[in-house]
Amino acid sequence: MKIKFDQRDKLGSGGFGSVFKGEFKNDGVCLAVAVKRVLLDEVNANEEKALRELETHPNIVQLFHCESDDNFRYYAMELCNASLDQLFLNSEKKYDGPIPPNIEVFRQLAVGLAYIHSKKFIHRDIKPENVLIKRPPRQDEETIIKWADFGLSKDVNERGTRRLSGIKGTNTWFAPESLKNAQEAGKLRGTVKSDVFVLGLVVGYLFLNGEHLYGSEIEVHGNIINQRPIKIREIATKLRECNAYNILSHMLEDDLKIRITSAQVVDELSNSRGTAHTPESNNHLDNFLLDSNRIAREEKSHRIAREEELRRLCALENSSDLTIEIEKLIKKGIDIKAKDRFRKNALHILCELNSSSTLIDAIILLIEQGIDVNAKGNHELNALHYLCRNKTNPSFMDAMKTLIEKGIDVNATNKYGENALHFLCGNYSTSNSEEAIRILIQNGIRVIPNGNDPRSILRKNNELSNTEKKEILKLLDKAALAQG
């Protein structure tokens, strides 16, 4: 078997199986993974289907491999550092590592859930334990929040609903419609909006530092049914400061017709960025000044929202309409060079996250419309750096050639003195690895810029076989020797 683990090294367990820290062996290379073990007669085909269809999204835990023996089904999954509930423990299992600001955790979870729903799945087991924290292997990368445990996921029909066989989920993490119909087995319909409500509970839990928005465990069910989020006042100021109060309120609507969708949550979070909460004033002059400045603020808000929408499209849009949607936003007068708070522009995000069939056309469009191909983002990364981190991109080779043709500096280094070759050696894992490195060398990339040798990174790349590593090392050795 390719999956190995020690039963003493258990990470967790539940009704659907146990999870251990282990390793996945492929072509002689070992990768540290989380191994989920499930009895064969309890295997949920929906979870495996969901993971296979959703695994390319950065906010969803990745599935590497599945296999079975006579008794169990084993899943080799992306190993993360902690779950959200571990932030608030008072034990040795407490997580004290890096974590994004609360509003950024909210945004990442919303983006991931919107992607799940766009693929016609309902998660149905949203809770803090199923939100994982992934610390980056490199200092210049951000901590990522990921959805996990799709053991209760279901396909949804065109209306976004799924007939269930009674109540699902865990403990206090329910939508009101689930609780109200819990006694009507077979009549309850799960909806994507049920997921949205429970995401709201998780967001409240995060802002409340580990407390439930609807009170103690014995109060939660009654308060949810009776629409009493009794702890909302404790975090109202925090939520308003980051323009999230109204969004959360819309997520917690009891009426499904009024409750917003996950895609709308993402849009509202995007639209709220850059705007400030202004307290009401009883002074007539203050009100007049507020009114006179409101138009300018609203115009700025709309512009920022459109710029954020461009970056969101570049991250998520995988349809043939990507360039059409970008052109629509350009016509609205956006600043195509605008960057997010991580200093990433639309080209950076496109190269890092997008796998659309029109990726090349989108890259060309952005550059032709004035975006600087050599602009640098967080930690001084350029578009080629970001592209070399996007190892799931089927258009990687053509995208790299396009950036080079458009004049990108292949020798640009980040704040740690690393060029694109370092990123490629550490991240890329397909049969194109050698060809990609050869193209970079042919276009003048320095193999050892400022004494920073990427070959040590390559030797630690667990996704390449030893044979592939040897061939690439020969190529790098030859180039390094030639470059003196």
Q: Which two tokens mark 461? A: 């790349």
Give the CATH number, domain containing residue 388: 1.25.40.20
Query: What H or E segment, with its residue span, contains residue 5?
Result: strand 3-14
- 313 in a structural domain: no
- Nearest 5°: the CA angle 457, 459, 461 is 75
Q: Which two tokens mark 74? A: 């084993």
Give the CATH number, domain containing residue 130: 1.10.510.10
Domain of residue 107: give its range: 82-272
- Interstrand relation of 17-26 and 3-14 (parallel, antiparallel or unpaired): antiparallel
φ, ψ at 361 (rounded to 5°): -60, -40
Residue 163 CA to residue 169 CA, distance in Å, equals 14
- Interstrand relation of 121-122 and 63-68 (parallel, antiparallel or unpaired): unpaired
Report the catalytic residues: 125
Bin 299: left if φ > 0, else alpha if -120 < ψ < 50, else beta.
alpha
- 449 in a structural domain: yes
Q: Is the dihedral of CA 120, 125, 131, 132 positive or negative?
A: negative
Among 28, 61, 78, identify where a domain stops: 78
Residue 258 CA to residue 223 CA, distance in Å, equals 19
Residue 464 CA to residue 476 CA, distance in Å, equals 15
Q: What's the gap between Cα 42 and its chain centre?
A: 29
pLDDT score of 392: 60
- 308 in a structural domain: no
Which residues on adjacent β-strands are paired with residue 90? none
- 328 in a structural domain: no
Residue 401 CA to residue 440 CA, distance in Å, equals 9
Residue 410 CA to residue 374 CA, distance in Å, equals 9
Q: State how far the alpha carbon of 264 is from the alpha carbons of 156, 309, 442, 448, in Å.
A: 18, 12, 46, 47
Query: What H or E segment, with its residue span, contains residue 56?
Result: none
| Co-location of 118 and 201 in the same domain | yes
Look-up of token digits 């694109």: 420
- 337 in a structural domain: no
- 311 in a structural domain: no
Helix (H, G, I), strand (E, B) or coil at 465: coil
Q: What is the pLDDT along the chain (484 residues), one digit of tens a residue?
A: 889 999 889 887 765 578 899 999 877 788 899 999 888 887 877 777 877 888 778 899 988 899 999 888 999 989 999 999 999 999 999 999 999 999 999 999 999 999 999 988 888 889 999 999 999 877 777 899 999 886 544 444 434 444 333 334 446 899 998 888 764 544 445 689 999 999 999 999 999 999 999 998 888 988 898 888 999 989 988 998 999 998 999 999 999 999 999 999 999 998 876 444 444 434 433 443 344 455 455 556 666 777 777 888 888 766 667 888 888 888 888 888 988 878 899 999 999 888 788 899 999 999 999 999 999 998 899 999 999 877 667 788 899 999 999 999 999 999 989 999 998 888 766 667 788 888 998 898 988 887 778 888 888 877 778 888 888 899 888 888 877 6
| Co-location of 363 and 471 in the same domain | yes
Q: Considering its fold, how many domains does the chain have in total?
A: 3
Q: Which residues are annotated as a binding site?
A: 36
Q: Which residues are annotated as a binding site for ATP?
A: 36
Residue 67 CA to residue 86 CA, distance in Å, equals 30
Look-up of token digits 């980051």: 242
Among 51, 78, 105, identify where a domain stops: 78
Q: Which two tokens mark 460? A: 């630690």
Among 29, 61, 78, identify where a domain stops: 78
User: What residue type is assigned to position 385 of the chain?
Assistant: H
- 342 in a structural domain: no
End-to-end CA distance of the chain: 45
Indicate the pTM of the whole model.
0.56
What order do you get walking across the sheet with 17-26 strand by strand?
3-14, 17-26, 29-39, 72-78, 63-68
- 34 in a structural domain: yes
| 380 class by beta-carbon count within 10 Å (0-12 exposed, 13-18 middle, 19+ buried) | middle
Residue 174: CB partners within 8 Å, gap ≥ 6?
A: 167, 198, 221, 224
| Co-location of 191 and 132 in the same domain | yes
Q: Which two tokens mark 108? A: 């990442």
| Co-location of 56 and 118 in the same domain | no
| Co-location of 120 and 142 in the same domain | yes
φ, ψ at 150 (rounded to 5°): -100, 30
Q: Are 180 and 221 in contact (CB under 8 A)?
A: no
Q: Are 379 and 387 in contact (CB under 8 A)?
A: no
User: What residue type is assigned to position 219 of the chain?
Assistant: E
| Co-location of 98 and 165 in the same domain | yes
| 444 class by beta-carbon count within 10 Å (0-12 exposed, 13-18 middle, 19+ buried) | exposed
| Co-location of 97 and 60 in the same domain | no
| Co-location of 69 and 123 in the same domain | no
